[in-house]
């Protein structure tokens, strides 16, 4: 597969507390992306469950390699012949009362080929709005990437976006993915700025799949799933609600940006 003809897509969802309903929404939207020609599809953070309470995901946590969420991902990627990146799903952790917030990658044959456990856990308080992922999530330790047919794909999740050192640690990537559930407040202020900065700094494509709307638990997420090129240009965006954002990767575009502004070669630190 040549990078010049690779189409990628990000799925925007408004996930709720019922795993089965979220799976059916994901099936429909991923199918739409695949029918549109996407060979790699990214789901948002918390796509299988965004519960009424932050502890709801504990009951749905799966052991690595087993469970209905992982089986769905494997079967769907094999059925559609696509690479499927499952935004995040809850996996069992060694700590009682907590899970791992894990990004899982399935190849076009349905094999789980890579995983990334979210390293940076979101915490934010302003007035009555308060979040602390560390209450129910165990942080991961290691950056992760995988080799797709068109090049290296770097993995990150949501709050990671604020830590550029993680993206530097991923190295030379053709694409970096950012499944997210940014809050409306923080997303409105910082989401696009941070995504474009990561694309510009690393001179690669960035694909961001977001939660985007009002959820059953009252939380409002920012949405604005995006596909951004290595110059920082936003090629596609979906402001709010369910849907698909898609675009084409171009090796020529990456090479052109890096040749005209060889910042990666100029690094001293």
Active site residues: 45, 118, 158
Q: Which two tokens stand for residue 250?
A: 């171009």
Identify the three-state secondary structure at position 179. Answer: coil
Identify the three-state secondary structure at position 136. Answer: coil
* 265 CB burial (10 A radius; 0-12, 13-18, 19+): exposed
232: left (phi over 0), alpha (psi -120 to 50) or beta: left
CA distance 106 to 125: 35
Q: Which two tokens stand for residue 132?
A: 């602390």
Give 226's contacts (C-beta < 8 A, 6+ positions apart).
10, 192, 195, 206, 207, 208, 234, 236, 237, 245
Residue 94 host element (H or E): none
Q: Which two tokens stand for residue 204?
A: 């690669």
* 193-199, long-range: CB < 8 A, 24+ apart: 194/161, 194/162, 195/161, 195/226, 195/228, 196/228, 196/232, 196/234, 197/164, 197/232, 198/161, 198/164, 198/167, 199/228, 199/229, 199/230, 199/231, 199/232
Give 78's contacts (C-beta < 8 A, 6+ positions apart).
106, 108, 109, 110
């Amino acid at each position: 597969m040549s990078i010049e003809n690779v189409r990628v897509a990000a799925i925007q969802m408004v996930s709720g507390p019922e795993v089965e309903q979220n799976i059916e929404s994901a099936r429909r939207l991923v199918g739409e992306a695949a029918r549109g020609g996407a060979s790699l599809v990214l789901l948002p953070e918390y796509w299988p469950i965004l519960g009424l309470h932050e502890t709801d995901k504990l009951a749905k946590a799966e052991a690595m390699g087993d469970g209905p969420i992982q089986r769905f991902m494997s079967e769907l990627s094999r059925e559609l012949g696509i690479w499927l990146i499952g935004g995040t799903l809850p996996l069992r952790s060694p700590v009682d009362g907590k899970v791992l917030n894990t990004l899982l990658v399935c190849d076009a044959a349905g094999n789980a080929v890579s995983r990334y456990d979210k390293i940076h856990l979101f915490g934010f308080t302003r007035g009555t709005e308060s979040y602390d992922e560390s209450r129910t999530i165990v942080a991961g330790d290691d950056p992760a990437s995988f080799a797709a047919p068109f090049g290296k794909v770097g993995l990150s999740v949501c709050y990671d976006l604020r830590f550029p050192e993680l993206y530097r640690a991923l190295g030379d990537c053709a694409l970096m993915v950012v499944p997210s559930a940014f809050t409306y407040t923080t997303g409105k202020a910082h989401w696009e700025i941070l995504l474009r900065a990561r694309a510009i700094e690393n001179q690669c494509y960035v694909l961001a799949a977001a939660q985007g709307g009002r959820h059953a638990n009252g939380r409002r997420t920012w949405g604005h799933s995006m596909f951004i090129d290595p110059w920082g240009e936003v090629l596609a965006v979906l402001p709010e609600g369910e849907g698909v954002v898609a675009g084409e990767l171009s090796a020529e575009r990456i090479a052109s940006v890096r040749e005209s502004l060889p910042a990666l070669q100029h690094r001293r630190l």
